[in-house]
Amino acid sequence: MTPALTDKQISYMDFIHKFIAENDNFPTFEVIAEHFGVAPNSVSGHLLALKRKGYIEFCPNMVSYRRTSVFKSFMAIRERAAA
């Protein structure tokens, strides 16, 4: 079973998912920080929590990240529930 997400983590995942759909690219830490009005270090903390829970994976040196199948499944379920 996948660990539960906080409301903030779900907000981050929603933003990342929508950003990718609109821009065909991942948002940078800075873009996420600007969207949520927080410092990039705060974004890093939230993304690390999502990594620990299995929703994203970091590429070498934490320069970028990618969604896992768990992330994609979670978002698909949310979209079906919203419809």
Q: What is the pLDDT of residues 48-59, one digit of tens each?
A: 999 999 888 877
Query: Which DSSP state fits 83?
Result: -
Burial of 63 (0-12, 13-18, 19+ CB in 10 A): exposed
pTM (2 d.p.): 0.77
Q: Return the CATH architecture of domain 7-82.
A: Orthogonal Bundle (1.10)
pLDDT at 63: 60
Q: With cut-offs at 50, 70 and 90, classify the pLDDT of residue 64.
A: low
Would you list the DSSP string of 38-71? Answer: S-HHHHHHHHHHHHHTTSEEEPGGGS-EEE-HHH
Spacing of C-alpha 39 from chain mean position: 16
Express each pLDDT in 16-45 by its tens digit: 999 988 988 888 889 999 999 999 889 989
Domain boundaries along the sequence of the chain: 7-82
Bridge-based pairing state of the strands 65-67 and 56-58: antiparallel
